[in-house]
Each structure stands twice: as structure tokens, then as C-alpha cells.
Amino acid sequence: MSIKKIAIVIMVIAAPVFALQSCYKVATVIPKTDVEVTGPVSFAKDIIPVLNAKCSISGCHASGGHIPNLADDKAFSSLSNGGYLDTGSPESSSLYQWLTGKKGTIMPPGGPNNPSNINQLVLAWIKQGAQNN
């Protein structure tokens, strides 16, 4: 076999190896697709229904489940007294950090497309003072 043929064989074998070495995962990036909520947000009318549907369910954040307890009558107290809210720096609130996946697994489980624009809804509620309204 000539040197030219050997060089071609080496290049055919080496090129994919070098190309594959550059393909590795550094980080998971979740694009921000939520639209900012600018209107008033009510804890009772806007937040509780989403918590009831996706969080305060058996095996999750219901009574006797994971903390915080997000059942209707316990949710506000659990969030406000448990240190999950930071009205001075809303994006730093543990609740928002969990929802967006910055503190661990995205909550509620199922990916970045949380129901009813919950990430921005909760962020707006915290920015508005996280009132029990």
C-alpha cells in the first residue's frame, strides 16, 4: 500500500474521532419562553389553583408529603414561614428557584413548560409583595 493510501485511510479514520471528541454536554440550557406577568396576581385566585393542580397532590406537596405543604389552607403559611419567599430579591426566592430548575429538578416535574405560565405568575406574585390575597 502506498503512503498516499495509508494517509487517506488514517484521515478517514481520524476525522470522525476528532469530530466526536468535540461533542460533549457542558450544561443543560432551558430557554426562557415565559411571558412576564404585569397585572395583579392573587394568591387565592391565581396561585392556589395551579398549586392544587400540579403541586398539592398525593405523593408531592400535600399534607403528609414533601415540604413545603402546599395544600389550600397551609400553602401561604408554609411558603412565607419556611423561607421560600424573598420579596427583596424575587428571583432569589427558593420557590422561584425550584420552579425554574435553578435549585434542583424543575418543579412541578415535567419540564420547563410548567402549567399556566406558573414561573412568571409566581415571580410576579413575589414581586408584588407575596401577599395572602
Cell, residue 113: 413548560
Q: Between these two residues, 116 and 29, which has the higher pLDDT value?
A: 116
Q: What is the pLDDT of residue 76?
A: 96
- DSSP output for 83-106: T---TTSGGG-HHHHHHHTSSSS-
Domain that holds residue 119: 33-127
Inside any domain, residue 132: no
Inside any domain, residue 7: no
Cell, residue 74: 397551609
Inside any domain, residue 104: yes
- Cβ atoms of residues 62 and 74 within 8 Å: no
Percent share of the chain, pLDDT over 90: 38
Inside any domain, residue 9: no
Total domain count for the chain? 1
How far, CA to CA in Å, does 77 sit from each of 16, 36, 86, 105, 115? 57, 26, 14, 23, 23
Average pLDDT over residues 118-125: 90
What is the band of 91 on the pLDDT scale with cuts at 50, 70, 90? very high
Residue 115 has pLDDT above 50, yes or no: yes
Inside any domain, residue 22: no
Inside any domain, residue 119: yes
pTM of structure: 0.70
